[in-house]
Structure 1
Amino acid sequence: MENKLKHLEFLQGAVNRMASNLFLLKGWTITLIAGLFALSAKDANAAYVLVAFFPALVFWILDGYFLSQERRFRALYDEVRKLPEDQIDFSMDTRPFKREYRNTWIGAMFSRTLLIYYGMLVTFMVALTFVLR
């Protein structure tokens, strides 16, 4: 049972790193976009507002990547917890789990949570763009 627990700890560590990356990306997204909007309001330059949409897209893509990786590690974790002790090989290979659509990069990008987060962010950015004009 000790091998199984150790393998599950490794997998949980990977899941925790992916979740941490997701959290940090969302923080950086808000910080960068808020900064660009502040520059736009200060200098009355609409170009900064348009530039703010680019990081939103880039961070959405990165969020999708890390979410897909987290989902794959969670699927591997679920498989390992069901394995008998003598079949534990300490594999961290998540490739068998990328076939499921929700675990793909695109599937994660268009997940409910990321669509709501980035959809609301872009909606807020569009509304703020009209207010600043």
Structure 2
Amino acid sequence: MSEEKRQHLEFIHNTINRLSDKSIQIKALTITLTAGLLAVYASTPKIFLIYITIPQVLFFWLLDGYYLQQERKFRGIYNDVSGVTSTRTVLSYEMPTQHYKEGKYSFLACFFSISKLLFFGSMIVILGFTIYALKSGCNL
């Protein structure tokens, strides 16, 4: 493998790592903000505090789906440059994410990926059950 190709792969790999780190930070921030809003609700029981957690979780779900989409695109570029796949020819130091659009690279595929559904979907379901229980008079 040439030095140029190795360095190109390293650049792509570093980008993938940064995107992956951002995804982890988004999940941590989602948990922190949701827990914070629920803690404020516990001290001053106003149900709107629980209602505003759902759009917040949805926003971070969208953002995390975008980061996963970008990460998958760069993985596709990495595979093409390294020769694992041969779907496209990628020039030296080129990172053509615009060529990776369909299938697993689409935003909807990333947004509804199993890992995103389990993490963010379960948070929304739990918040929905909490709102339902509070509105129906259950003492939580």
Are 1:102 and 1:111, in contact at CA under 8 Å, matched by a contact in 2?
A: no
Secondary structure at the aligned position of 1:44 is classed as: coil
Secondary structure at the aligned position of 1:90 is classed as: coil
User: In 2, distance between residues paired with 1:10 and 1:22?
Assistant: 19
Aligned to 1:51: 52
Are 1:4 and 1:88, in contact at CA under 8 Å, matched by a contact in 2?
A: no
By how many angstroms is 1:88 displaced? 4.5
1:93 partnered with 2:96: yes
User: In 2, distance between residues paired with 1:101 and 1:40?
Assistant: 41
Are 1:3 and 1:88, in contact at CA under 8 Å, matched by a contact in 2?
A: no
User: In 1, distance between residues paired with 2:104 and 2:40?
Assistant: 38
Q: Give the letter aligned to residue 2 of structure 1.
A: E
User: In 2, distance between residues paired with 1:101 and 1:108?
Assistant: 10
Aligned to 1:124: 126
Correspondence 1:57-72 to 2 at 5 A = 57-72=58-73
Q: Give the letter aligned to residue 61 of structure 2.
A: W
Unmatched runs of 5 consecutive residues or more in structure 2 = 85-89
- Of 97, 115, 118, the residue aligned with 2:117 is 115
Cα deviation 1:24-44 (Å, max 9, x = unaligned): 000000000111111111101
By how many angstroms is 1:108 displaced? 0.5
Aligned residues: 129
- Runs of 4+ displaced beyond 2 Å: 126-133
The percentage of aligned residue pairs carrying the same residue is: 32
- Name which of structure 1's ranges 14-23 and 112-121 shifts more when overlaid on structure 2: 112-121
Correspondence 1:71-90 to 2 at 5 A = 71-82=72-83, 88-90=91-93
Relative to the length of structure 2, the TM-score reads 0.85
